[in-house]
Amino acid sequence: MHILDGMSSLHPETRAVHLPKPALNGSTPIATPIYQTSGFVFDDPAVFADGMSRPDGAFVYGRLSNPTVRALEEAVAGLEGGVAAVAAGSGMGAINSVLLALLRPGDHLIAQNALYGGTAASIADLAGRFGISVTYVAQDDPAAVREAVRPETRLLYLETIANPMTQVADLPGMCAVAREAGLLSVVDNTFASPVLCRPLEHDADIVVHSTTKYMSGHSDVIGGIAVFADDELYRKVWAYATKLGATPDPFAAWLTLRGLQTLPLRMARHCDNTRLLATRLAEHPAVRAVHWPGLPTHPSYELAAKLLPDFGGVFSFDLAGGRDAGERFMSSVRLALLAPSLGGVETLILHPATTSHRTLTADELARNGIGEGTVRVSVGIEHPEDLWADFVQALGG
Ligand SMILES: *Cc1c(COP(=O)(O)O)cnc(C)c1O
């Protein structure tokens, strides 16, 4: 059903525009339709029965599969270079579907220190309730993974670019150790998007995304997706996720598909705008440090320069005046919006210590390099000089 079948050499910009469409009798729609239906009608009971038990049978019931949702799954699987994908109602829905489908009581998992807050909380919950143990390692330390492996270790969990200090994971190095030790590698690629990184090319087994962020890109939908390198893993997670009920609504899937078409264009602008702001802020007297892997001062700079064609649209900075200065800055911006989330067309800022990372202890904050005066910025696609003027006035000139 994909018009790009057999054309895998096309660039992401082209693949993102030409999305999968359902074939009708002799023509196909230009845009992917929204199949806003809970279920499907059958003439043949055998086809009905068959569709209930596998993801590639007939469409039966919306919790199992839907043509609009399937179009999104095929589009993202194509962009990430996977065999198939399972979409979910949120990023956490996709992440928990993967973890719950693949982990058993008594299993051990290795995860990087700097994790998205919701993921860290879910892993802590699994650990408490199912006796799953966790070892945390730095995101760029393959030797630490090798050392942490035990007979019951099942999975390595990484993020391409971490929130909010933008550490970059050594995907080739970390995934190679996992492969050698027989572990599955799961990579949250939300911050990079497949435009900047395709973790399956670095030997990951599963890629997860909060499509709420860059993929949909317009701050108007919540969604998630997991992409698989392997058909057996895909079927296993599909079977679990559809029982769990993590399925997205067709309209949410459609909004995400619509956003996806401009992902490469938006990502280029997010990166360019971020480069301008991060470079200039690093020179500003009110700023103590800027954290963006595109700056040579960032600990991940060399790795990022090897792994990524550009460095993403999120950065953080520490104000010389600490927490008070941070709060003053956040209440003084006019164009940038004080809001959760990231990856939308608008520039959004937040204070991690009191919002996204509020559940972390002082020690955990310090281990992640997050200070009292750290401000996180998700840079939008506005004109960069307008953003710069806003930041300068909010910094007091
Ligand atoms: C937002 C986010 C999530 C969670 O996604 P939701 O869509 O909010 O459930 C997971 N990982 C990363 C890196 C995120 O930024």
Number of neighbours of residue 161 by Cβ within 10 angstroms: 29
Q: What is the pTM of this model?
A: 0.95
**Would the CB of 356 count as within 6 Å of ligand 1?**
no
Distance 305 CA to ligand 1 centre (A): 25
From CA 204, how far away is CA 200, in angstroms rounded? 5
User: Higher model confidence: residue 22 or residue 233?
Assistant: 233
**Would the CB of 188 count as within 6 Å of ligand 1?**
yes
pLDDT surpassing 90 at residue 397:
no
- Which residues lie below 8 Å from residue 165, measured CB to CB, with a gap of 6+? 114, 291, 316, 368, 369, 370, 374
For helices 263-282 and 384-394, give the axis angle rounded to 10 degrees. 40
Distance 157 CA to ligand 1 centre (A): 14
CA atoms within 13 A on the CB side of 90: 7
**Would the CB of 97 count as within 6 Å of ligand 1?**
no
From CA 350, how far away is CA 348, in angstroms rounded? 7
Q: Which of 213, 269, 275, 376 is catalytic?
A: 213
Which range is least confidently modeled, 1-5, 256-260, 350-354?
1-5
258 is annotated as an active-site residue: no
**Would the CB of 92 count as within 6 Å of ligand 1?**
yes
Task: Report which protein residue has its CA nearest ligand 1's atom 5.
Answer: 91
- Which residues lie below 8 Å from residue 230, measured CB to CB, with a gap of 6+? 83, 205
213 is annotated as an active-site residue: yes
**Would the CB of 117 count as within 6 Å of ligand 1?**
no
φ, ψ for residue 103, nearest 5 deg: -100, 145
61 is annotated as an active-site residue: no
Which range is least confidently modeled, 123-132, 284-293, 308-317, 353-362?
353-362
From CA 337, how far away is CA 349, in angstroms rounded? 6
| Per-residue model confidence as pLDDT tens digits over 21-51 | 777 778 889 999 999 999 999 999 999 999 9
Query: What is the predicted pLDDT for the residue at 349?
Result: 96
**Would the CB of 73 count as within 6 Å of ligand 1?**
no
From CA 303, how far away is CA 326, in angstroms rounded? 29
| Per-residue model confidence as pLDDT tens digits over 152-198 | 999 999 999 999 999 999 999 999 999 999 999 999 999 999 999 99
Compute the average pLDDT of residues 339-351. 95
Which atom belonging to ligand 1 lies closest to the Cα atom of 224?
Answer: 7
- 12-260 CATH, one of 3.40.1710.10, 2.70.98.30, 3.40.640.10, 3.40.190.10: 3.40.640.10
Contact 386, 335 (CB under 8 A): yes
pLDDT surpassing 90 at residue 237:
yes
Q: Which of 116, 136, 214, 240 is catalytic?
A: 116
| Per-residue model confidence as pLDDT tens digits over 66-108 | 999 999 999 999 999 999 999 999 999 999 999 999 999 999 9
Query: What is the predicted pLDDT for the residue at 5?
Result: 60
Picking from 222, 229, 193, 231, the residue whose alpha carbon sits closest to that of residue 209 is 193
From CA 147, how far away is CA 141, in angstroms rounded? 10
**Cα-only R_g, the chain:** 21
Distance 208 CA to ligand 1 centre (A): 9
Three-state secondary structure string covering the chain: CCCCCCCCCCCHHHHHHCCCCCCCCCCCCCCCCCCCCCECCCCCHHHHHHHHHCCCCCCCECCCCCHHHHHHHHHHHHHHCCCEEEEECCHHHHHHHHHHHHCCCCCEEEEECCCCHHHHHHHHHHHHHHCCEEEEECCCCHHHHHHHCCCCEEEEEEECECCCCCCECCHHHHHHHHHHCCCEEEEECCCCHHHHCCHHHHCCCEEEEECCCCCCCCCCCCCEEEEECCHHHHHHHHHHHHHHCCCCCHHHHHHHHHHHCCHHHHHHHHHHHHHHHHHHHHCCCCEEEEECCCCCCCCCHHHHHHHCCCCCCEEEEEECCHHHHHHHHHHHCCCCEECCCCCCCCCEEECHHHCCCCCCCHHHHHHCCCCCCEEEEECCCCCHHHHHHHHHHHCCC
Chain length of the chain: 397
Query: What is the predicted pLDDT for the residue at 1?
Result: 45
386 is annotated as an active-site residue: no
CATH number of 264-394: 3.90.1150.10
Distance 210 CA to ligand 1 centre (A): 4
- Which residues lie below 8 Å from residue 273, measured CB to CB, with a gap of 6+? 313, 347, 379, 380, 381, 382, 384, 387
φ, ψ for residue 318, nearest 5 deg: -105, 130
pLDDT surpassing 60 at residue 310:
yes
Which atom belonging to ligand 1 lies closest to the Cα atom of 95?
Answer: 10
Compute the average pLDDT of residues 135-146. 98
pLDDT surpassing 50 at residue 235:
yes
From CA 307, how far away is CA 300, in angstroms rounded? 10
By percentage, how much of the chain surpasses pLDDT 90?
84
Confidence of residue 6 (pLDDT cuts 50, 70, 90): low
Query: What is the predicted pLDDT for the residue at 129?
Result: 93
Domain boundaries, the chain: 12-260, 264-394
Which range is least confidently modeled, 195-199, 224-228, 326-330?
326-330
φ, ψ for residue 173, nearest 5 deg: -70, -45
